[in-house]
Structure 1
């Protein structure tokens, strides 16, 4: 089968479409004929080796973790699925920008409901489940205020909508060009990260500080500055680790990897299918332009998700 492959930790422009053995479904797994796959920032880090000390991969490595497609084979103990099932999944080991991939039965695999096409389905798993887990970890409640830094990216796409659905007041970072977009996702206010300090702009909107800061951009000590937008005793949540203690009794909450609950992915898929959750596709690429998709994802600003269509039939 054809797959998008990195043969070692290498620059992004060194990856290529290459022949790889077709995988087989093992115990608790299903084999999926890939219809579409989506890219995430982690995919880039796994290609270059930027996270090899924390998230090493074996080579040759097939790029991609998000997928939508059709089950063609069911392994032992993979109860609940059958050939022909339309599914979407997150595959932590990678391998989705390929003609076939394997997915493990559990919270990271779900049936794709009618009304949700494969391209939009592939754009949900990693970003959508990460957003769910971040909001759950920080205990965001109705009537609380939330600043989302990185609102135009994949996780931000879902975090803004899910927080709004919870009843929170969302303030989102966005350039002037993207302000209308994030308001369309549900943000009550925007702050232009290109026009001035995000913390200062946020405190003008919420003088006492927001209840929760969700930072999807900064890491390390940079999160200490971000935390200044939170009220005393507020919370900061991030998928990128930072200081163990923050000033003014702001509580940091970090999740290095998301741990979805059973039903999370199904819920996101059904919300998308019935129109309660917007899935923004910033760009679509055919399989033969998968290398271009990676390059553009790394080098261009894109709203929402980049999707690669592997089998358009």
Structure 2
């Protein structure tokens, strides 16, 4: 089968569409015929080796972890899935920018409801489930205020909407060009990070500080700066790692990998199908342009998700 492949840790422009063995289903697994695959920042780090200490890659590496497709083979011990079922899921380093991939039955795989096309379905799993896990980990509640830094990215797209749906007051970062879009997602206010210091502008609008900071951009000591936007005793949550302790009693919460509960992905898919969860597709590429899709994802400001369709 054809797949987008890295043969070693390498620059993104050296990716190629190459022949690799078609996967087979082991115990607890299903093989999927891929319809669409979405890109995530971790894909870029796996290719270049920027995250090899935390996430070492096996080569050849097939790019992509989010998928929508149909079940083409069912492995031993799998129940609930049959040939031809339409699904969406997260496949990890099995790779999804390919004609076929393999997925493990469990919370990271779900049936695709009617009304949810493959392109939007592929854009949900990693970003959507990460947003769910971030808000759950920090215990965001109705009536609280939250600052979302990185609101126009893949995870931010869902974090803003889910926080709003929980009843929180959302302040989100966005350029002037993206401000109306982010407000449509559910943000009560936006902060233009190109025109003002995000923390100072947030504190001007919420003088006591927000209850929760969701930082999807900064890492390391940069998160200590973001934490200044939280009220004393508030919380900061990030999918990247930072200081073990923060000033003023702000509690840091880090999730290096998302751990969804059963039903999380099904819930996101249902919301997307009925229109209560917006799935923003910033760019869409055919399989033959997959190398360009990765380059554009890495080098351009693209609102929402980048998806590659596979014939």
Q: Same fold (TM over 0.5)?
A: yes
Tell me the equivalent position of 1:141. Answer: 141
Q: For residues 58-115 of structure 1, what are the alpha-carbon distances to aligned partners after superposition, in whole Å with 9 as ceiling and x for unaligned?
A: 1111000000000011000011100010000101223100000000000000000000
SS across alignment from 2:203: helix
Matches within 5 A, 1:1-313: 1-311=1-311
Q: For residues 9-42 of structure 1, what are the alpha-carbon distances to aligned partners after superposition, in whole Å with 9 as ceiling and x for unaligned?
A: 0000000000011100110000100000000000
Does the aligned pair in 1 maintain the 2:94–2:102 contact within 8 Å? Answer: no
Q: For residues 126-184 of structure 1, what are the alpha-carbon distances to aligned partners after superposition, in whole Å with 9 as ceiling and x for unaligned?
A: 00000000000000000000000000000000000000000000000001001011001
The separation in 2 between residues aligned to 1:32 and 1:50, in whole angstroms, is 29
Q: CA RMSD in A?
A: 0.5
Unaligned runs of 5+ in 1: none
The separation in 1 between residues aligned to 2:308 and 2:243, in whole angstroms, is 37
| 1:57 shift after superposition | 1.0
Does the aligned pair in 1 maintain the 2:61–2:93 contact within 8 Å? Answer: no
SS across alignment from 2:80: coil
Segments ≥4 residues shifted beyond 3 Å = none
The separation in 1 between residues aligned to 2:121 and 2:202, in whole angstroms, is 34
Q: For residues 203-237 of structure 1, what are the alpha-carbon distances to aligned partners after superposition, in whole Å with 9 as ceiling and x for unaligned?
A: 01100000000000000000001000000010000
The separation in 2 between residues aligned to 1:179 and 1:94, in whole angstroms, is 36
Does the aligned pair in 1 maintain the 2:30–2:71 contact within 8 Å? Answer: yes
The separation in 1 between residues aligned to 2:284 and 2:25, in whole angstroms, is 28
The separation in 1 between residues aligned to 2:135 and 2:50, in whole angstroms, is 27
The separation in 2 between residues aligned to 1:94 and 1:85, in whole angstroms, is 19
Structure 1 stretch displaced more, 133-142 or 94-103? 94-103
| 1:196 shift after superposition | 1.3
Does the aligned pair in 1 maintain the 2:94–2:103 contact within 8 Å? Answer: no
TM-score, normalised on structure 1? Answer: 0.99
The separation in 2 between residues aligned to 1:53 and 1:223, in whole angstroms, is 21
TM-score, normalised on structure 2? Answer: 1.00
Aligned residues: 311
The separation in 2 between residues aligned to 1:57 and 1:247, in whole angstroms, is 36
The separation in 2 between residues aligned to 1:192 and 1:95, in whole angstroms, is 35
